Amino acid sequence: MADSESGGRPALARRLAAEAVGSMLLAALVVGSGIAAVQLSPDQVGLELVENAAATAAGLFAIILMVGPVSGAHFNPVVSLVDAAFGGLSWRDAAAYLPAQVAGCVAGAVLANLMFDRSAVSIASHHRASGAHLLAEVVATAGLILLIFALARSDRAERAPAAVGAYIGAAYWFTSSTSFANPAITVGRMFSDSFAGIAPASAPAFIAVQVVGGAVGYGLVRLFYPPTVAPGRLVSDPRRQADAPHPSRERSTLR
């Protein structure tokens, strides 16, 4: 297999591996820090949430830097679908990203369970699908989409790792749902009966409203940032830098 596709983009197999590994690390980060928070600060829910949110914000920053240049560091089916809708990713590739993201998040939850000497799989019992939680997921997901694509379309994509980490860390607090904002991580968190878990009965409603939030975010991006000549990506793309050396053209695209 060729190391890259035409135009300099990494081969699809490499991108799928990056999405799977990145998603696995993200789920291990969210679930593992939640388990650790409960062990370190038992019966102190506020402090547990601080610890879980801080670890997630910092870790997400690092994970995006790790694999972003390979796959774009989506880790999120909604991001992939919106990117495809904007033309930054083919629909074929977006469809391939989705199972890699979900499988990675499930594997990450299992890995977190094992790292804390728990059963590999424990089905979560935390029911979350109230009306307030579902509204919060629409808000959290729409905000995430708007942030990512706003940075890409305003030529500030190099700030995305820090900005996305900061947004998710803050959204742990300003949303009642603690900002899942991601169907893949929602599925993964079903497999850990821990502080970060979500009961399977709550997951379908969460996923549905996350898709709605993605559509809202897509509309806001189109309103605030009309289409430009080149699509945007979450991280810098060496191919575009090589093809478009003039500083007036976009240096980064959204993946």
Q: What is the dihedral of CA 59, 65, 66, 70, to 10 degrees?
A: 140
Tokens of 216: 């809202």
Domains and CATH numbers, the chain: 12-240+249-253 (1.20.1080.10)
pTM, 2 dp: 0.87
CA distances, 126 to each of 27, 123, 191, 192, 248 (Å): 17, 9, 11, 10, 50
pLDDT above 50 for 253 = no
pLDDT tier at 162, thresholds 50, 70, 90: very high
User: In the predicted model, is pLDDT for residue 171 greater than 70?
Assistant: yes
Res 226: pLDDT? 87
CA pair distance 52, 35, nearest whole angstrom? 9
Phi, psi dihedral angles at 66 (to 5 degrees): -60, -50
Q: Which residues contact 39 (CB under 8 A, 6 or more apart)?
A: 116
Which one, of 41, 205, 223, 84, lies nearest residue 150 by Cα?
Answer: 223
* CA–CA gap between residue 196 and residue 247 (Å, rounded): 44
pLDDT of residue 3: 53
- Dihedrals φ, ψ of 236, to 5°? -65, 145
Output the pLDDT for position 9: 82
The pLDDT score that the predictor gives to residue 35 is 97
pLDDT at 228: 57
Residue 5: pLDDT band by 50, 70, 90 thresholds?
A: low
pLDDT digits (tens, 9 = 90+) for 58-88: 999 999 999 999 999 999 999 999 999 999 9
Q: CA–CA distance from 72 to each of 38, 56, 66, 107 (Å)?
A: 32, 19, 10, 20
User: Average pLDDT, whole number, for the chain?
Assistant: 89
Predicted confidence at residue 114, as pLDDT, reads 98
What would the mean pLDDT of 39-43 be, rounded to a whole number?
A: 95
250 has a pLDDT exceeding 70: no
HSE of 98 in the Cβ direction (CA atoms, 13 Å)? Answer: 12
Look at residue 243 in the predicted model and tell me its pLDDT. Answer: 45
In one-letter notation, the amino acid at residue 87 is G
- Do residues 214 and 147 make contact, with C-beta atoms less than 8 angstroms apart? no
Cα dihedral sign, 226-232-235-236? negative
What does the pLDDT read at residue 7?
Answer: 55
pLDDT band, very low/low/confident/very high, at 255 (cuts 50, 70, 90): very low
- Say yes or no to pLDDT of 184 above 90: yes
Flag the least confident range among 89-98, 142-151, 169-178, 223-232: 223-232
Distance of CA 32 to the CA centre of its chain: 17
Can you say whether the dihedral through the CA atoms of 72, 76, 79, 84 is positive or negative? Answer: positive
pLDDT grade for 242, boundaries at 50, 70 and 90: very low
